[in-house]
Protein backbone atom coordinates (compact mmCIF):
# COMPACT_ATOMS: atom_id res chain seq x y z
CA UNK A 1 0.00 0.00 0.00
CA UNK A 2 1.04 3.57 -0.71
CA UNK A 3 -0.03 5.69 2.27
CA UNK A 4 0.28 9.37 3.15
CA UNK A 5 0.85 10.24 6.79
CA UNK A 6 -0.02 13.73 8.08
CA UNK A 7 1.23 15.19 11.34
CA UNK A 8 1.04 18.50 13.19
CA UNK A 9 2.43 18.49 16.72
CA UNK A 10 2.03 20.52 19.88
CA UNK A 11 4.29 23.26 18.49
CA UNK A 12 1.49 23.96 15.98
CA UNK A 13 3.94 25.31 13.42
CA UNK A 14 2.72 23.43 10.36
CA UNK A 15 1.89 20.10 8.74
CA UNK A 16 4.36 17.37 7.81
CA UNK A 17 3.33 14.97 5.03
CA UNK A 18 5.13 11.70 4.30
CA UNK A 19 4.31 9.35 1.43
CA UNK A 20 5.51 5.81 2.03
CA UNK A 21 5.08 2.32 0.67
CA UNK A 22 4.25 -0.39 3.24
CA UNK A 23 4.30 -4.15 2.83
CA UNK A 24 4.13 -6.92 5.44
CA UNK A 25 6.73 -9.67 5.40
CA UNK A 26 6.58 -12.38 8.01
CA UNK A 27 4.02 -10.36 9.93
CA UNK A 28 6.34 -7.33 10.17
CA UNK A 29 5.69 -4.08 8.28
CA UNK A 30 8.45 -2.93 5.93
CA UNK A 31 8.32 0.82 5.25
CA UNK A 32 9.93 2.45 2.22
CA UNK A 33 9.90 6.29 2.14
CA UNK A 34 8.85 7.84 -1.18
CA UNK A 35 8.49 11.60 -0.56
CA UNK A 36 8.22 14.19 2.20
CA UNK A 37 6.82 17.73 2.26
CA UNK A 38 6.15 20.35 4.91
CA UNK A 39 3.56 23.10 4.88
CA UNK A 40 4.26 25.79 7.47
CA UNK A 41 1.42 27.60 9.18
CA UNK A 42 1.59 31.39 8.86
CA UNK A 43 2.61 32.88 12.21
CA UNK A 44 -0.88 34.31 12.75
CA UNK A 45 -2.47 30.89 12.19
CA UNK A 46 -0.03 29.25 14.61
CA UNK A 47 -1.09 31.75 17.26
CA UNK A 48 -4.78 31.05 16.54
CA UNK A 49 -4.19 27.33 17.10
CA UNK A 50 -2.29 27.99 20.34
CA UNK A 51 -5.03 30.35 21.56
CA UNK A 52 -7.64 27.75 20.63
CA UNK A 53 -6.00 25.19 22.91
CA UNK A 54 -6.21 27.53 25.90
CA UNK A 55 -9.50 29.40 25.59
CA UNK A 56 -11.18 28.58 22.29
CA UNK A 57 -14.85 29.45 21.73
CA UNK A 58 -17.08 26.81 20.19
CA UNK A 59 -17.69 28.79 16.98
CA UNK A 60 -13.93 29.21 16.41
CA UNK A 61 -13.28 25.52 17.15
CA UNK A 62 -16.01 24.54 14.68
CA UNK A 63 -14.56 26.78 11.98
CA UNK A 64 -10.93 25.80 12.58
CA UNK A 65 -11.79 22.09 12.43
CA UNK A 66 -12.99 22.56 8.85
CA UNK A 67 -10.27 25.07 7.91
CA UNK A 68 -7.43 22.83 9.12
CA UNK A 69 -9.08 19.92 7.30
CA UNK A 70 -8.63 21.92 4.09
CA UNK A 71 -4.96 22.57 4.94
CA UNK A 72 -4.29 18.91 5.79
CA UNK A 73 -5.83 17.96 2.42
CA UNK A 74 -3.55 20.47 0.66
CA UNK A 75 -0.52 19.00 2.44
CA UNK A 76 -1.49 15.49 1.31
CA UNK A 77 -1.93 16.59 -2.30
CA UNK A 78 1.37 18.48 -2.15
CA UNK A 79 3.41 15.40 -1.21
CA UNK A 80 1.55 13.27 -3.77
CA UNK A 81 2.38 15.78 -6.53
CA UNK A 82 5.98 16.03 -5.32
CA UNK A 83 6.30 12.26 -5.79
CA UNK A 84 4.81 12.61 -9.31
CA UNK A 85 1.88 10.42 -8.29
CA UNK A 86 -1.86 10.89 -8.68
CA UNK A 87 -4.41 10.67 -5.84
CA UNK A 88 -5.76 7.49 -7.47
CA UNK A 89 -2.35 5.87 -6.86
CA UNK A 90 -2.68 6.29 -3.09
CA UNK A 91 -4.45 3.70 -0.98
CA UNK A 92 -5.01 5.70 2.22
CA UNK A 93 -4.19 8.77 4.29
CA UNK A 94 -3.46 8.66 8.03
CA UNK A 95 -3.99 12.06 9.67
CA UNK A 96 -3.07 12.76 13.27
CA UNK A 97 -4.83 16.14 13.11
CA UNK A 98 -4.02 19.10 15.35
CA UNK A 99 -4.37 18.52 19.08
CA UNK A 100 -6.09 21.43 20.80
CA UNK A 101 -6.72 19.72 24.15
CA UNK A 102 -5.63 16.52 25.85
CA UNK A 103 -6.92 15.43 29.27
CA UNK A 104 -5.34 12.01 29.96
CA UNK A 105 -5.94 12.18 33.72
CA UNK A 106 -9.63 12.72 33.02
CA UNK A 107 -12.40 14.26 35.07
CA UNK A 108 -14.79 12.46 37.38
CA UNK A 109 -18.49 12.57 36.58
CA UNK A 110 -21.21 11.41 39.03
CA UNK A 111 -22.18 7.82 38.40
CA UNK A 112 -19.67 7.48 35.52
CA UNK A 113 -16.25 7.54 37.15
CA UNK A 114 -13.27 9.17 35.40
CA UNK A 115 -13.86 10.34 31.83
CA UNK A 116 -10.65 10.71 29.80
CA UNK A 117 -10.73 12.87 26.69
CA UNK A 118 -8.69 14.31 23.85
CA UNK A 119 -9.52 16.52 20.89
CA UNK A 120 -7.74 16.69 17.54
CA UNK A 121 -9.13 18.93 14.79
CA UNK A 122 -8.55 18.90 11.02
CA UNK A 123 -11.77 17.31 9.77
CA UNK A 124 -11.00 13.95 8.06
CA UNK A 125 -14.19 14.11 5.99
CA UNK A 126 -12.81 17.23 4.32
CA UNK A 127 -9.51 15.46 3.61
CA UNK A 128 -11.31 12.47 2.09
CA UNK A 129 -13.57 14.69 0.00
CA UNK A 130 -10.79 16.91 -1.35
CA UNK A 131 -8.42 14.05 -2.17
CA UNK A 132 -10.82 11.19 -2.95
CA UNK A 133 -8.63 9.00 -0.70
CA UNK A 134 -9.82 6.90 2.25
CA UNK A 135 -8.71 8.79 5.36
CA UNK A 136 -8.04 7.43 8.83
CA UNK A 137 -8.01 9.90 11.74
CA UNK A 138 -8.92 10.24 15.45
CA UNK A 139 -6.30 7.71 16.51
CA UNK A 140 -6.25 8.56 20.22
CA UNK A 141 -9.87 8.30 21.51
CA UNK A 142 -10.29 4.51 21.21
CA UNK A 143 -7.26 3.87 23.43
CA UNK A 144 -8.68 6.33 25.97
CA UNK A 145 -12.06 4.63 25.85
CA UNK A 146 -10.20 1.43 26.81
CA UNK A 147 -8.73 3.15 29.87
CA UNK A 148 -5.50 4.44 28.31
CA UNK A 149 -4.05 7.92 27.96
CA UNK A 150 -4.25 7.89 24.15
CA UNK A 151 -0.54 8.71 24.05
CA UNK A 152 2.15 8.19 23.14
CA UNK A 153 1.20 6.32 19.95
CA UNK A 154 4.45 6.58 17.97
CA UNK A 155 6.29 3.92 20.07
CA UNK A 156 4.73 1.25 17.86
CA UNK A 157 6.53 2.80 14.87
CA UNK A 158 9.72 3.24 16.93
CA UNK A 159 9.71 -0.49 17.61
CA UNK A 160 9.20 -1.29 13.92
CA UNK A 161 12.03 1.03 12.83
CA UNK A 162 14.66 0.81 15.59
CA UNK A 163 14.43 -2.54 17.41
CA UNK A 164 17.78 -4.35 17.47
CA UNK A 165 18.59 -7.98 18.21
CA UNK A 166 21.61 -7.20 20.42
CA UNK A 167 21.38 -3.56 21.50
CA UNK A 168 18.97 -1.96 23.96
CA UNK A 169 17.86 1.42 22.68
CA UNK A 170 16.15 4.54 24.01
CA UNK A 171 14.38 6.35 21.18
CA UNK A 172 13.78 10.03 21.93
CA UNK A 173 11.40 12.33 20.08
CA UNK A 174 11.75 16.04 20.83
CA UNK A 175 8.76 17.89 19.43
CA UNK A 176 6.77 20.47 21.37
CA UNK A 177 6.73 17.81 24.09
CA UNK A 178 9.47 15.19 24.48
CA UNK A 179 8.84 11.46 24.73
CA UNK A 180 10.92 8.30 24.95
CA UNK A 181 10.55 4.69 23.85
CA UNK A 182 12.59 1.95 25.54
CA UNK A 183 13.38 -0.98 23.24
CA UNK A 184 15.13 -3.88 25.02
CA UNK A 185 17.43 -5.92 22.80
CA UNK A 186 15.86 -8.79 20.90
CA UNK A 187 12.38 -8.61 22.45
CA UNK A 188 8.83 -8.13 21.23
CA UNK A 189 6.22 -5.40 21.55
CA UNK A 190 5.14 -6.64 24.97
CA UNK A 191 8.44 -5.45 26.45
CA UNK A 192 8.37 -1.94 24.97
CA UNK A 193 8.04 0.95 27.43
CA UNK A 194 7.29 4.56 26.46
CA UNK A 195 6.00 7.82 27.93
CA UNK A 196 6.23 11.59 27.68
CA UNK A 197 9.08 13.15 29.64
CA UNK A 198 7.84 16.75 29.63
CA UNK A 199 9.17 19.89 27.91
CA UNK A 200 10.56 19.93 24.39
CA UNK A 201 10.61 22.78 21.88
CA UNK A 202 7.35 24.31 23.10
CA UNK A 203 8.81 26.14 26.10
CA UNK A 204 11.94 27.32 24.23
CA UNK A 205 9.92 28.56 21.25
CA UNK A 206 7.48 30.48 23.45
CA UNK A 207 10.34 32.23 25.26
CA UNK A 208 11.90 33.33 21.96
CA UNK A 209 8.56 34.49 20.54
CA UNK A 210 7.92 36.54 23.68
CA UNK A 211 11.41 38.06 23.73
CA UNK A 212 11.28 39.06 20.04
CA UNK A 213 7.59 40.07 20.08
CA UNK A 214 6.92 37.43 17.44
CA UNK A 215 9.74 38.44 15.09
CA UNK A 216 11.39 35.04 15.59
CA UNK A 217 9.58 31.76 16.06
CA UNK A 218 12.44 29.76 17.61
CA UNK A 219 16.13 29.76 18.55
CA UNK A 220 17.60 28.48 15.27
CA UNK A 221 20.20 25.81 15.95
CA UNK A 222 20.09 26.65 19.66
CA UNK A 223 22.55 29.48 18.99
CA UNK A 224 21.27 31.77 21.75
CA UNK A 225 21.02 28.91 24.26
CA UNK A 226 24.62 27.88 23.52
CA UNK A 227 25.81 31.40 24.38
CA UNK A 228 24.05 31.31 27.76
CA UNK A 229 24.98 29.89 31.15
CA UNK A 230 22.75 27.34 32.89
CA UNK A 231 21.22 28.83 36.05
CA UNK A 232 21.44 25.85 38.40
CA UNK A 233 18.90 27.04 41.04
CA UNK A 234 16.25 27.51 38.35
CA UNK A 235 17.11 24.16 36.72
CA UNK A 236 16.74 22.43 40.11
CA UNK A 237 13.36 24.10 40.57
CA UNK A 238 12.20 23.06 37.09
CA UNK A 239 13.25 19.46 37.69
CA UNK A 240 10.95 19.48 40.73
CA UNK A 241 7.91 19.91 38.44
CA UNK A 242 5.34 17.24 39.46
CA UNK A 243 5.32 15.69 35.98
CA UNK A 244 8.98 14.70 36.38
CA UNK A 245 8.18 12.25 39.18
CA UNK A 246 4.80 11.02 37.91
CA UNK A 247 4.95 7.30 37.18
CA UNK A 248 4.17 6.05 33.66
CA UNK A 249 1.84 5.65 31.88
CA UNK A 250 1.97 9.41 31.46
CA UNK A 251 1.42 11.93 28.69
CA UNK A 252 1.18 15.69 28.65
CA UNK A 253 0.86 18.75 26.43
CA UNK A 254 0.24 22.45 26.32
CA UNK A 255 -2.03 22.16 29.37
CA UNK A 256 1.01 21.63 31.63
CA UNK A 257 3.88 23.11 29.60
CA UNK A 258 2.19 25.92 27.68
CA UNK A 259 1.58 29.63 28.23
CA UNK A 260 0.92 29.64 32.01
CA UNK A 261 4.24 27.91 32.72
CA UNK A 262 6.09 30.22 30.32
CA UNK A 263 4.63 33.28 32.07
CA UNK A 264 5.98 31.97 35.38
CA UNK A 265 9.38 31.36 33.79
CA UNK A 266 9.54 34.91 32.44
CA UNK A 267 8.70 36.26 35.88
CA UNK A 268 11.51 34.17 37.40
CA UNK A 269 13.89 35.41 34.69
CA UNK A 270 13.13 38.99 35.67
CA UNK A 271 13.57 38.38 39.41
CA UNK A 272 16.86 36.49 38.92
CA UNK A 273 18.06 39.04 36.32
CA UNK A 274 18.82 36.32 33.78
CA UNK A 275 19.63 37.13 30.18
CA UNK A 276 17.55 35.61 27.39
CA UNK A 277 20.53 33.38 26.56
CA UNK A 278 20.78 32.14 30.18
CA UNK A 279 17.05 31.36 30.32
CA UNK A 280 17.21 29.43 27.04
CA UNK A 281 20.34 27.55 28.15
CA UNK A 282 18.59 26.57 31.39
CA UNK A 283 15.43 25.39 29.61
CA UNK A 284 17.44 23.45 27.00
CA UNK A 285 19.23 21.70 29.86
CA UNK A 286 15.84 21.06 31.51
CA UNK A 287 14.62 19.32 28.35
CA UNK A 288 17.70 17.06 28.34
CA UNK A 289 17.63 16.38 32.10
CA UNK A 290 13.93 15.53 31.95
CA UNK A 291 14.64 13.04 29.16
CA UNK A 292 17.53 11.63 31.19
CA UNK A 293 15.24 11.14 34.18
CA UNK A 294 13.35 8.55 32.10
CA UNK A 295 16.01 6.04 33.17
CA UNK A 296 14.33 5.66 36.55
CA UNK A 297 11.34 4.06 34.82
CA UNK A 298 13.18 1.60 32.55
CA UNK A 299 15.18 -1.48 33.56
CA UNK A 300 18.74 -2.13 32.57
CA UNK A 301 21.53 -0.46 30.64
CA UNK A 302 20.92 1.64 27.52
CA UNK A 303 23.31 0.90 24.64
CA UNK A 304 22.16 3.61 22.20
CA UNK A 305 20.13 6.83 22.44
CA UNK A 306 18.49 7.71 19.11
CA UNK A 307 17.00 11.20 18.80
CA UNK A 308 14.51 12.64 16.31
CA UNK A 309 12.02 15.48 16.01
CA UNK A 310 12.59 19.20 15.65
CA UNK A 311 14.74 19.34 18.77
CA UNK A 312 17.50 17.39 17.05
CA UNK A 313 18.48 20.67 15.34
CA UNK A 314 18.98 22.44 18.67
CA UNK A 315 22.67 22.00 19.40
CA UNK A 316 22.27 23.10 23.02
CA UNK A 317 19.76 20.32 23.72
CA UNK A 318 21.87 17.75 21.88
CA UNK A 319 25.04 18.74 23.77
CA UNK A 320 23.20 18.40 27.09
CA UNK A 321 21.81 15.01 26.04
CA UNK A 322 25.30 13.73 25.27
CA UNK A 323 26.42 14.81 28.73
CA UNK A 324 23.36 13.28 30.43
CA UNK A 325 23.67 9.88 28.70
CA UNK A 326 27.47 9.51 28.51
CA UNK A 327 29.07 7.10 27.78
CA UNK A 328 26.15 5.78 25.66
CA UNK A 329 26.30 7.20 22.11
CA UNK A 330 23.61 9.76 21.20
CA UNK A 331 22.66 9.32 17.53
CA UNK A 332 20.07 10.98 15.33
CA UNK A 333 17.29 9.31 13.34
CA UNK A 334 19.08 10.44 10.17
CA UNK A 335 22.27 8.64 11.24
CA UNK A 336 20.15 5.49 11.61
CA UNK A 337 18.57 5.75 8.16
CA UNK A 338 15.34 7.60 8.99
CA UNK A 339 14.41 11.24 8.48
CA UNK A 340 13.96 13.11 11.78
CA UNK A 341 11.53 15.50 10.08
CA UNK A 342 9.43 12.81 8.39
CA UNK A 343 9.26 10.12 11.05
CA UNK A 344 6.14 11.13 12.98
CA UNK A 345 4.15 11.60 9.76
CA UNK A 346 5.44 8.20 8.65
CA UNK A 347 4.23 6.73 11.94
CA UNK A 348 0.65 7.82 11.24
CA UNK A 349 0.83 6.37 7.74
CA UNK A 350 1.78 3.08 9.40
CA UNK A 351 -1.06 3.34 11.93
CA UNK A 352 -3.55 3.96 9.09
CA UNK A 353 -2.18 1.01 7.10
CA UNK A 354 -2.49 -1.32 10.06
CA UNK A 355 -6.02 -0.41 11.13
CA UNK A 356 -7.15 -1.03 7.56
CA UNK A 357 -5.68 -4.53 7.91
CA UNK A 358 -7.31 -5.19 11.29
CA UNK A 359 -4.09 -4.77 13.26
CA UNK A 360 -4.21 -3.37 16.81
CA UNK A 361 -1.44 -0.80 17.22
CA UNK A 362 -1.81 0.72 20.65
CA UNK A 363 0.73 -0.59 23.18
CA UNK A 364 -1.33 -1.16 26.36
CA UNK A 365 1.61 -1.19 28.79
CA UNK A 366 2.61 2.20 27.33
CA UNK A 367 -0.75 3.98 27.32
CA UNK A 368 -2.36 2.15 30.26
CA UNK A 369 -5.19 0.74 28.15
CA UNK A 370 -6.87 -2.43 29.41
CA UNK A 371 -6.30 -4.29 26.14
CA UNK A 372 -5.15 -3.83 22.52
CA UNK A 373 -7.54 -1.89 20.27
CA UNK A 374 -7.86 -0.81 16.65
CA UNK A 375 -6.89 2.86 16.44
CA UNK A 376 -8.60 5.36 14.18
CA UNK A 377 -11.88 6.25 12.50
CA UNK A 378 -12.15 5.49 8.78
CA UNK A 379 -13.71 7.94 6.31
CA UNK A 380 -14.12 6.36 2.85
CA UNK A 381 -12.73 8.13 -0.23
CA UNK A 382 -14.74 10.75 -2.12
CA UNK A 383 -17.89 9.81 -4.01
CA UNK A 384 -17.63 9.76 -7.77
CA UNK A 385 -13.95 8.83 -7.76
CA UNK A 386 -12.36 5.44 -8.03
CA UNK A 387 -11.71 4.21 -4.49
CA UNK A 388 -10.08 0.97 -3.48
CA UNK A 389 -11.79 -1.70 -1.43
CA UNK A 390 -10.20 -1.20 1.99
CA UNK A 391 -12.75 -3.08 4.04
CA UNK A 392 -11.34 -4.77 7.12
CA UNK A 393 -10.66 -8.52 6.88
CA UNK A 394 -13.37 -10.79 8.28
Phi, psi of 193 (to 5 degrees): -125, 140
Strands 330-332 and 304-308, sheet pairing:
parallel
H-helix segments, the chain:
43-55, 58-82, 124-131, 141-145, 155-162, 201-211, 223-227, 232-238, 242-245, 254-257, 259-272, 276-292, 315-325, 343-355, 364-367
Contacts of 65 (CB under 8 A, 6+ apart): 121, 122, 123
Per-residue pLDDT averaged across 69-85, rounded? 98
Range in 140-144, 251-255, 337-341 with the lowest mean pLDDT: 251-255
Would you kindly state where each structural domain of the chain is located, as residue ranges? 2-150+342-379, 156-336
Q: What's the chain's Rg over C-alpha atoms?
A: 20
pLDDT at 388: 47
Which pLDDT band, with edges at 50, 70 and 90, does 383 fall under? low
Range in 47-51, 131-135, 332-336 with the lowest mean pLDDT: 47-51
**Residue 210: which of 7, 47, 390, 17 has the closest Cα?**
47
pTM of the entire predicted model: 0.91
pLDDT single digits (tens) 266-325: 999 999 999 999 999 999 999 999 999 999 999 889 999 999 999 999 999 999 999 999
Range in 49-53, 158-162, 386-390 with the lowest mean pLDDT: 386-390
Do the domains 156-336 and 2-150+342-379 match in fold?
yes
Instruction: Round the average pLDDT of the chain to a whole number and report it.
Output: 93
Range in 23-27, 82-86, 133-137, 278-282 with the lowest mean pLDDT: 23-27
Matching CATH number, 156-336, of 3.40.190.10, 3.30.420.40, 3.40.50.300, 3.40.50.620: 3.30.420.40
- 389 vs 94, residue with greater confidence: 94
pLDDT single digits (tens) 8-38: 988 888 999 999 999 988 878 999 999 999 9
Q: Percentage of residues in the chain with pLDDT exceeding 90?
A: 88
Instruction: Answer yes or no: CATH 3.30.420.40 is held by domain 2-150+342-379.
Output: yes
Amino acid sequence: MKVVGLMSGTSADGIDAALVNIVRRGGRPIITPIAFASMLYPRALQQRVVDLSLHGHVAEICHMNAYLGELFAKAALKVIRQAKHQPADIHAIGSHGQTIHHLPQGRREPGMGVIRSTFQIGEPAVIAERTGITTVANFRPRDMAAGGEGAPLVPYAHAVAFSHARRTRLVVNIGGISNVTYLPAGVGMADVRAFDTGPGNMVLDAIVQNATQGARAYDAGGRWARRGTIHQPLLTELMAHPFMTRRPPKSTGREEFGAPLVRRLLAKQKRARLSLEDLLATCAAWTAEAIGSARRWVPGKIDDVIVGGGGVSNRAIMASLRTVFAPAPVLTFDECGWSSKAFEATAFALLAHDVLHGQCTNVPQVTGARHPVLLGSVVPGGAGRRTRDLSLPH
